[in-house]
Amino acid sequence: MKLYVGNLSYDTNDAELRDLFVPYGEPDSAKVITDRDTGRSKGFGFVEFADNAQATAAMNALNGKEVNGRALTVNEARPRTESSGNRGGGSGGFRRGRGRY
């Protein structure tokens, strides 16, 4: 089961995120999502467990828990949709061969 973890402190790294979940089982992975350009945390991440019971226990225990002055949001991650994968814009408003507008 993959868990979404929101409202993380911007100082939280992958290892710290993982350590939050270890008391409930052994996470397969823990990843804080960072901005591609700046490398700064976006304030959320994902934790994956092979064991659904461990993931559920962690979700129930940590959702709403205050960590570094912020109340965490922990729930089951929703699958990515087709439209959420690529958020790139067009060509900056200018289209070749179509004039200025």
Distance CA 88, CA 85 (A): 9
Class of domain 2-45+52-78: alpha beta
Q: Supply the pTM of this predicted model.
A: 0.79
Phi, psi of 2 (to 5 degrees): -105, 130
In this predicted model, what pLDDT tens digit does every residue of 29-79 receive, in sequence order?
A: 999 999 999 999 999 999 999 999 999 999 999 999 999 999 999 999 998
Which long-range contacts (C-beta less than 8 Å, at least 24 apart) are formed by 40-43?
Answer: 40/10, 41/8, 41/10, 41/11, 41/12, 41/13, 43/6, 43/7, 43/8, 43/9, 43/10
Please tell me the predicted confidence (pLDDT) of residue 81: 82
More reliable by pLDDT, 80 or 100: 80
- In this predicted structure, what is the pLDDT of residue 80? 82
Question: In one letter, which amino acid is 66?
Answer: E
